[in-house]
Structure 1
């Protein structure tokens, strides 16, 4: 099957949730840049996670439906990410609750359904087999045409075993064995937030999963406490275009700031479309001008190291004020969505 790249909205942050207006802006952005899909899977939506067995409030359901329609009208495939939180077995109660939830999701008509067992404790026997059985049951109830599973251990990062316990022996190969070939499997790499990917590492997981992995790339995400003070605006690095040969797909997880996230995301599109001709810095410069306009782009590039390396935790009062004064002068309709996010970020750093 063809390789596809797209966006997965997977933020944890409770204080900085994306607006529906921002999400809807991704329909035209993804279409313009050649992104194939947008998966709605924020960890801060309780109706996809801790309260998955409860229905969405009517207004949220309406917004989700509108988002899906907007994406499809732009020929961008719409996805939903469901975490069957604390489902430890398929019994009468869990089957009934899952059927009800999937029936509700089917009304939204997503083409992609992601079944996410990540980031919650699942200390049960036969973990891989149980998760495969749950995923198979969900897929049988769904009208989606593509299914992607995230296991409990979705990276080699030792953090996962420190938090969720020792990984069962043979977990990755068992997951690959028990999951029907129709399922893709998410993989974040050697770390939860990986600096890059190479062919040997991805081939190893291909062998384990008995299929090419589907990258869940946590760049430019910044919703962890140690990254919130930075804006990860720069071009994608450490990701060779040959990933399109080594993986089934590439899903990128954006920042707390939806509009500013479009800057690095645009460079990923260039990477895959230009391949050996890709120039990361030229791609960044073009992306920021195309999105923000020349004047604001120049100001962002001039202050790039303050955003990406120094961060608000290290700003002096003088630097913070200088940046506020620099960016608050941009009032054009094009510039405003980006400027608002920069100023909000600067103000949030003041509270730290």
Structure 2
């Protein structure tokens, strides 16, 4: 399958959930920017994680179904991410529960199904083999056309081993060997939130996985406690266009703020389309103007350091009030989604 890039909604923040209006806005955004897919995988949807064995409320189910249909009608592939939380083996009970869950997901008709073993402990022997068995069981029940797995250890970041214990010896190689080649494998890089990627590190994981890694890129993510005070609005850096040769795909995880996330996400499209001609700063300026309008874009650029580097925790009352006054004056319908997010962020 050819290299493809798109969006994965992986927000992990119960207090800052995306609205269905925002998700609908991503249908046209992905279409306009040439994104191949949109994967619905918010970690604050309990029916994809801790309560995966329970059905969605009817209103939520219908909203997901409508989103998927809109995406597919716009030629953007629709994906979902399921975390079989606390399934440590396949027994009679959870096999039946998984069958029922996948039957429900099949009604939503995703073209991509992600099977996510991240962010919960898997204290079992032969971890890679067990996860492979679970993934293959789910895939056998699914009508999706593409499957992507996230392992428990999805990065070289020592944080994962501090939280989940020591990684089993040869885990990455065992996962790559046991998983059928039809599965892609997500990888966030040397860190959970990586500053960039290089060919040497990605080739190492290609050797382990026996296939090119599929990037789960946690930029411009800001849902961690140490990043909530920043708006990561700037262009993608540290990501050469040659990733399209080194990886099987590239999924980017946005911020708490869906509309403001569109600014950096738009630059990813430019990166892959312009390749060696890509100018990151010019791309940022163009994306901001096209999305926000000339005047609001200029105000965002003028205060970019405040958003991306200084952050609300370091603002003086003077700076906070100045920014509030600056952005409150933008009142047009097109400007308002972006301005509301800025003003809400300033209240932190």
TM-score category, normalised to shorter length: over 0.9
Q: Does the alignment pair 1:257 with 2:276?
A: no
Partner of 2:63: 63
- Do structure 1's residue 311 and structure 2's residue 298 form an aligned pair? no
Say if 2:105 is the partner of 1:110: no
Rounded to whole Å, the distance in 1 between the matches of 2:267 and 2:289 is 12
Task: Find the counterpart in structure 1 of residue 232 from structure 2.
Answer: 232
Which residue number in structure 2 is paired with residue 137 of structure 1? 137
Deviation at 1:323, TM superposition (A): 0.4
Q: Which runs of 5+ in 1 are unaligned?
A: none
Provide Cα deviations, 1:65-86, integer angstroms capped at 9, x if missing partner. 0100110111000000000000
Unaligned runs of 5+ in 2: none
Give 1:191's aligned residue.
191
Distance in 1 (alpha carbons) for counterparts of 2:142 and 2:102 = 6
- 1:98-157 Cα deviation digits (max 9, x unpaired): 000000000000000000000100010110000000000000000000000000000000
Give the match for residue 221 of structure 1: 221
User: What's the offset of the Cα at 1:43?
Assistant: 0.5
Q: What are the superposed Cα offsets for residues 144-172 of structure 1, whole Å, 9 maximum, x if unpaired?
A: 00000000000000000000000000000
Report the equivalent of 1:98: 98
- TM-score, normalising length: structure 1: 0.99
- Correspondence 1:40-189 to 2 at 5 A: 40-189=40-189
Which residue in the other structure is 1:30 paired with? 30
TM-score (norm 2): 1.00
Counting matched residue pairs gives 348
CA distance in 1, matches of 2:69, 2:35: 16
Alignment deviations for residues 51-70 of structure 1 (CA, whole Å, 9 cap, x no partner): 00000000000100010011
CA distance in 1, matches of 2:322, 2:69: 42
The answer to whether the aligner puts 1:282 opposite 2:279 as a matched pair is: no
- Distance in 2 (CA, whole Å) between partners of 1:2 and 1:246 is 12
Cα deviation for residue 245 of structure 1 reads 0.2
